[in-house]
Amino acid sequence: MNQQPRTIIITGASSGIGLALAEAYLKRGDRVVGNARSSERLEAAAAALGHPGSFVGVAGDIAEPATAQALFRTAIERFGRIDVLINNAGIFIAKPFADYTPEDVQRLVATNLMGFFYPSQLAATHMAANGAGHIVNITASVALQPNGKAPAVLPVLVKGGLNSATRALALELAPHGVKVTAVAPGIIDTPLHPDGAHEFLKGLQPSGAYGQVKDIVDAVLYMTDASFTTGVVLSVDGGATAGVW
């Protein structure tokens, strides 16, 4: 456990992995500033988390620069500084390449790419000035090892770019004491997956089983606790990136 509480910004914090991450950091005594699109979802998350003095919600579309600015402004006003940014917000659209629509492209690029870029740009400036900090990107293991059984070129395109950007930004910020890492989940048991697809999705894992949200939380906690780890993309996918099976 940290001796001093840290301030953690988490995007996509109202459900799934983001909510579980918020809960984990709050239990450690840290402060969390969480983002989601709707204030209602954030209010429900705050009620479920039960740490009114340590959790602040900032509603808005994370693809918009103004939302990122509001997140950082709120964190600094309430808690003085930002120690960790977790770029968790994301959508995943899997379909044959020729079937993607312009709306699919716009939605995925907005949330997954711009939702990384604008908060990370502010984090880089703030953390470099402090000489410390950590940016963690939640990407996808399929971007490291595509699977012909589950066509998903569009998320592979964007999440693969984020995996590479993680390494590049880690090198750029290393002289300033700022670490940049990524956690690349495989198939995780969350409400994201449609009904009727569960057995098929389990079959995409060598183990034949889902990962759990706790597996991703544990990986992120390791990253933000590590003192000598940066530029790493950690697959948490039951071996799906290990090869063909």
pLDDT by 10s per residue, the chain, length 245: 446 999 999 999 999 999 999 999 999 999 999 999 999 999 999 999 999 899 999 999 999 999 999 999 999 999 999 999 999 999 999 999 999 999 999 999 999 999 999 999 999 999 999 999 999 999 999 999 998 888 999 999 999 999 999 999 999 999 999 999 999 999 998 766 666 777 888 888 888 888 999 999 999 999 999 999 999 999 999 999 998 77
- 207 phi and psi angles, rounded to 5 deg: -80, -15
* 181, β-bridge pairs: 136
Instruction: Give the pair of three-digit tokens for residue 53.
Output: 């003095």
pLDDT at 190: 79
How far is it, in rounded angstroms, from Cα 66 to Cα 167?
26
E strand or H helix that includes residue 59: strand 55-59
Q: Which of 102, 94, 78, 81 is nearest to 204 (CA)?
A: 94
Q: Which domain holds residue 64?
A: 7-236
2 domain-assigned:
no
Q: What is the pLDDT of residue 202?
A: 82
**pLDDT score, position 177:** 98
Q: Is residue 100 part of a domain?
A: yes
Asked whether residue 1 is assigned to any structural domain, the reply reads no
Instruction: Read off the DSSP letter of residue 111.
Output: I
Please give the Cα distance from 66 to 71 (Å, whole number). Answer: 9
* Strand order from edge to edge, sheet including 233-236: 55-59, 31-36, 7-11, 84-87, 133-138, 178-185, 233-236
- Rounded CA separation 30/234 (Å): 24
Is the residue at 107 inside a domain? yes
> Which is it for strands 31-36 and 133-138: parallel, antiparallel or unpaired?
unpaired
Look at residue 192 in the predicted model and tell me its pLDDT: 66
Return the pLDDT at 57.
97
Answer whether residue 243 is part of any domain.
no
pLDDT at 98: 97
> Whose structure tokens read 């290990």?
242
In whole angstroms, what is the distance from residue 45 CA to residue 41 CA? 6
CATH of the domain at 194: 3.40.50.720
Place of tokens 């994201």: 192
Query: Distance between CA atoms of 57 and 169, rounded to whole angstroms?
Result: 27
Within a domain: 60: yes
Which helix (DSSP H) or strand (DSSP E) does residue 134 occupy? strand 133-138
pLDDT at 1: 47
Which three-class secondary structure state does DSSP give residue 175? helix
Is 158 part of a structural domain of the chain? yes
Identity of residue 74: T
Dig out the tokens for 115 from the structure.
Answer: 């939702």
Structure tokens at 124: 């880089």
The pLDDT of residue 203 is: 82
Determine the straight-line distance between the first and last CA of the chain, rounded to whole angstroms. Answer: 39
Domains in the chain: how many in total?
Answer: 1
Phi-psi region for residue 24, left (φ > 0), alpha (ψ -120 to 50) or beta? alpha
For the full predicted model, state whether its pTM sits above 0.85.
Answer: yes
